[in-house]
């Protein structure tokens, strides 16, 4: 997943070259590529050129492992479990790709959510959602309402204000999670992510003193999707009283 997050938005092949150091290009040996563990053995440095390896790598690996384990604990070996781990994979890769590409830009504004992740997300979303709910309407309504419900206001905003309000990638990402989580989740995905984004964005503006700050929205959409995945019943009760 770390490979996808780094390479997909940069239009690099995910197959070749094999995992290699981003500083010296030396190929990473398989025993130096064990999740979480290797980073500690290498003390966070490349074996060859000693340049620093970001702590984000073991953190992402650890977070993925914990979320997968919790899904197994919650759902057992079932289609719900297959749905959960596919959603976690897409949520983390899309959210972090968006965040890291935004960090690369000068004003921290235009993150990229790779289309290949959107397509993979739709395929896995439709497939696992259909198997888990035994209904093809479940993912169709979720993805359809997620997409159209945001596409129309976003287009209107762009027509009136002549600038992009919500990124097109964000809208596609909400449609993907709509396919996984169904119609009822869309409201939470939109307003939950907007709420988290506003809290972080406003705090950041106060701390940094910058105005008119744009922040990538993908990580907040992914956070909302993960919360709904595990606590959807509770969220439904809070939102709809059922
Ligand atoms: Zn190196």
Nearest in space to 102 (alpha carbons), one of 233, 204, 231, 183:
204
Take residue 142 and report the two structure tokens written for it: 């979720």
CA of 29 to the centre of ligand 1 (A): 12
Phi, psi dihedral angles at 204 (to 5 degrees): -65, -40
Q: Identify whether 71 is preceded by a cis peptide bond (ω within 30 of 0).
A: no
Encode pLDDT of 86-132 as tens digits.
999 999 999 999 998 888 877 666 788 999 999 999 999 999 999 99
State the pLDDT at residue 43.
93
pLDDT at residue 162 is higher than 80? no
Please tell me whether residue 17 adopts helix, strand or coil conformation.
Answer: coil
State the pLDDT at residue 150.
85
CA of 27 to the centre of ligand 1 (A): 8
For 33-65, give the DSSP string: -STTHHHHHTTTB-TTT-PBPPTHHHHHHHHHH
CA of 202 to the centre of ligand 1 (A): 38
State the pLDDT at residue 122.
97
CA of 54 to the centre of ligand 1 (A): 12
CA of 219 to the centre of ligand 1 (A): 29
More confident residue, 153 or 122: 122
Encode pLDDT of 213-233 as tens digits.
778 889 999 999 999 999 999
Query: For all residues of the chain together, what is the average pLDDT?
Result: 90
CA of 17 to the centre of ligand 1 (A): 14
CA of 103 to the centre of ligand 1 (A): 22
Distance from first CA to last CA of the chain, Å, rounded?
37
CA of 39 to the centre of ligand 1 (A): 13
Measured distance CA(38)–CA(58) in Å, rounded: 9
Whether the Cβ atoms of residue 152 and residue 171 lie closer than 8 Å to each other: no
CA of 47 to the centre of ligand 1 (A): 7
CA of 37 to the centre of ligand 1 (A): 18
CA of 6 to the centre of ligand 1 (A): 16
CA of 20 to the centre of ligand 1 (A): 8
Q: Which residues pair with 45 in a beta bridge?
A: 52
CA of 33 to the centre of ligand 1 (A): 13
Buried b (16+ CB within 10 A) or exposed e, 96-107: bbbbbbbeeeee
Task: Give the ranges where 105-167 is alpha helix by DSSP (H).
Answer: 115-133, 137-161
CA of 19 to the centre of ligand 1 (A): 11
More confident residue, 238 or 71: 71
pLDDT at residue 34 is higher than 80? yes
Going by pLDDT thresholds of 50, 70 and 90, the confidence category of residue 179 is very high
Half-sphere exposure of 92 (CA within 13 A, CB side): 21
Measured distance CA(27)–CA(157) in Å, rounded: 47
More confident residue, 60 or 159: 60
Helix (H) and strand (E) counts for the chain? 9, 0
Question: Percent of the chain having pLDDT more than 70?
Answer: 97
State the pLDDT at residue 108.
65
User: CA 174, 178, 183, 184 torsion: positive or negative?
Assistant: negative
CA of 22 to the centre of ligand 1 (A): 7
Give this prediction's pTM: 0.90
Whether the Cβ atoms of residue 235 and residue 188 lie closer than 8 Å to each other: yes
11-15, 61-65, 162-166: which range is least confident on average? 162-166
Half-sphere exposure of 126 (CA within 13 A, CB side): 12
CA of 48 to the centre of ligand 1 (A): 5
pLDDT at residue 47 is higher than 90? yes
Measured distance CA(201)–CA(217) in Å, rounded: 10
């Amino acid at each position: 997943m770390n490979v996808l997050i780094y390479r997909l938005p940069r239009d690099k092949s995910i197959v070749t070259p094999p995992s290699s150091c981003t500083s010296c290009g030396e190929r990473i040996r398989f025993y130096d590529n064990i999740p979480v563990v290797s980073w500690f053995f290498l003390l966070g440095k490349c074996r060859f050129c000693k340049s620093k390896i970001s702590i984000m790598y073991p953190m992402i690996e650890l977070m993925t492992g914990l979320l997968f384990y919790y899904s197994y604990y919650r759902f057992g070996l079932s289609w719900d479990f297959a749905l959960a781990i596919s959603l976690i994979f897409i949520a983390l890769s899309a959210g972090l790709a968006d965040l890291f590409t935004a960090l690369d830009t000068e004003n921290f504004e235009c993150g990229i959510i790779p289309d290949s992740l959107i397509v993979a997300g739709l395929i896995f979303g439709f497939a696992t959602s259909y198997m888990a709910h035994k209904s093809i309407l479940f993912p169709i309504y979720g993805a359809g309402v997620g997409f159209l419900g945001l596409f129309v206001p976003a287009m209107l905003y762009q027509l009136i204000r002549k600038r992009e309000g919500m990124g097109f990638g964000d809208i596609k990402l909400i449609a993907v999670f709509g396919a996984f989580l169904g119609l009822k989740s869309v409201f939470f995905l939109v307003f939950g992510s907007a709420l988290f984004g506003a809290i972080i964005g406003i705090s950041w503006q106060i701390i940094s003193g910058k105005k008119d700050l744009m922040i990538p929205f993908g990580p907040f959409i992914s956070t909302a999707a993960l919360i709904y995945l595990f606590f959807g019943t509770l969220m439904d009760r809070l939102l709809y009283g059922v």
